[in-house]
Amino acid sequence: MDSPTPPRLRVLADDRPDALIAFRYAPAAPSPLAVDCARLAGPAAEAWLAEGGHYALQAIEVGENGGDIETAAAEAYRRLLAAVRPSSHPYLLRIWNYFAAINAGEGDDERYRRFCVGRAAAVDGMFNDPPPAATAIGADGLPGRLQVVALCAKAPALALENPRQTPAWRYPREHGPVSPGFSRGAVLDADTATPRLLASGTASIIGHVSQHAGDFAGQLRESLRNLEALLEQGRQRTGRHFPLAGCESLRVYLRHPRDLATAQALLAASGIAPGRISYLRGDVCRRELDVELEGVFPAA
Ligand code: 3EB
């Protein structure tokens, strides 16, 4: 009997030493891809399992010299591109960015905005055409280290935008001196029987405007609507269905641990298995927003 071809990539909310990318959330012992976000509930790790050599990992850490996140970002992205472009896996599909105190500083001096300036200064034309799916989250701890983790591949992904949201690379000037370089999502392996839709950090934003400031439940509901719209976009672009309830792994970043019970109650209605959802303490890059979602969705 024929056995089905295994997916080139699958994601488990679990700790697997054989993973291409093994994220561990605030582990007690030092760990290469430790994410400095305290785990509030759910799995303590996420494993990206790859078959057949189509995918590769790049992980870069840059120290901040005197709290200069702009220079650190430029350095990290210069190093990332120098490693990836001449390699056998030159395409950047999905990037995670973590650094502390993301909302420190006012106006254009806010550390997230400086990070965006540094990133934009370092990337090449290929990076923006179109940009990878991404997350940028304020981790716990003191400023000092920028962590950039990247999923790379031999072939490009299908980049997605969300019709409810302005593409981040077209955000107007009020959100910072340069628009953030990321796509709302990406479909991997669309040419195979086992595609995966990767949702970027998804928050309570319509158009380019933050919604429901001060209303955590309202923000989470809006973020879920954005996620559903992205999944629908994936269906329209590929003809495959990406059900929310089929989520392989969801990360829920909460600014305030006090919102955990509300988040768990709202997500109970999503159909996503509770064992697939990690709740992490993290700061959204817009200070008025208190929750962000990211996840991996296999085609049904
Ligand atoms: C937003 O929609 C929220 O700068 O790489 C989400 C995902 C956000 C990625 C990034 C920022 C980034 O604008 C913030």
36-52 confidence digits (pLDDT tens): 999 999 999 999 999 99
**Which residue, 48, 43, 24, 14, is CA-closest to 278?**
43
Contact criterion met (CB below 8 Å) for 285 and 138: yes
Q: Which atom of ligand 1 is nearest to the CA of 175?
A: 13
Q: How many CA atoms lie within 13 A of 64 on its CB side?
A: 21
Overall pTM > 0.95: yes
- Between the CA of 6 and the centroid of ligand 1 the distance, in Å, is 32
SS3 (DSSP) at 59? strand
Contact criterion met (CB below 8 Å) for 88 and 154: yes
- Between the CA of 294 and the centroid of ligand 1 the distance, in Å, is 11
Contact criterion met (CB below 8 Å) for 291 and 259: yes
What are the pLDDT digits (tens) for 256-268?
999 999 999 999 9
> Which residue's CA is the nearest one to ligand 1's atom 10?
136
- Between the CA of 13 and the centroid of ligand 1 the distance, in Å, is 22
- Between the CA of 171 and the centroid of ligand 1 the distance, in Å, is 11
Sequence-distant (6+) residues with CB within 8 A of 105 are: 111, 113, 114
% of the chain at pLDDT higher than 90? 94
pLDDT at 3 over 70: no
- What φ, ψ does residue 132 adopt, rounded to 5°? -65, 160
Q: How many CA atoms lie within 13 A of 76 on its CB side?
A: 31
- Helix spans in the chain (H): 69-84, 111-122, 216-238, 260-268
Locate the domains of the chain by residue range: 52-298
Query: What is the rounded distance in angstroms from the CA atom of residue 229 to the CA atom of residue 232?
Result: 5
**Do you find a cis peptide bond into 130, omega within 30 degrees of 0?**
yes
Top pLDDT among 24 and 2 is at 24
> Which residue's CA is the nearest one to ligand 1's atom 3?
203
**Which residue, 300, 298, 299, is CA-closest to 12?**
298
Residue 276 in tokens = 């697939």
Give residue 1's pLDDT.
53
C-beta of 132 in contact with ligand 1 (< 6 A):
no
- Between the CA of 184 and the centroid of ligand 1 the distance, in Å, is 8
Confidence category of residue 291, pLDDT binned at 50, 70, 90: very high
**Which residue, 255, 249, 239, is CA-closest to 300?**
239
Give residue 35's pLDDT.
97
Give residue 5's pLDDT.
83
What are the pLDDT digits (tens) for 60-71?
999 998 889 999
Contact criterion met (CB below 8 Å) for 141 and 99: no
pLDDT at 276 over 70: yes
Confidence category of residue 4, pLDDT binned at 50, 70, 90: confident
C-beta of 199 in contact with ligand 1 (< 6 A):
no
Q: What is the mean pLDDT of residues 74-83?
A: 98
Q: In what order do the strands lie in the sheet with 91-100?
A: 55-63, 145-153, 91-100, 133-139
Q: What is the mean pLDDT of residues 134-140?
A: 97
Give residue 249's pLDDT.
98
Give residue 2's pLDDT.
57
C-beta of 298 in contact with ligand 1 (< 6 A):
no
Contact criterion met (CB below 8 Å) for 23 and 43: no
Place of tokens 């089905």: 4
C-beta of 205 in contact with ligand 1 (< 6 A):
yes
Q: Among the CATH numbers 3.40.50.720, 3.40.50.450, 3.40.50.300, 3.30.1330.40, which is that of 52-298?
A: 3.30.1330.40
> Which residue's CA is the nearest one to ligand 1's atom 13?
168
Looking at residue 169, the DSSP 8-state letter turns out to be G
Confidence category of residue 81, pLDDT binned at 50, 70, 90: very high
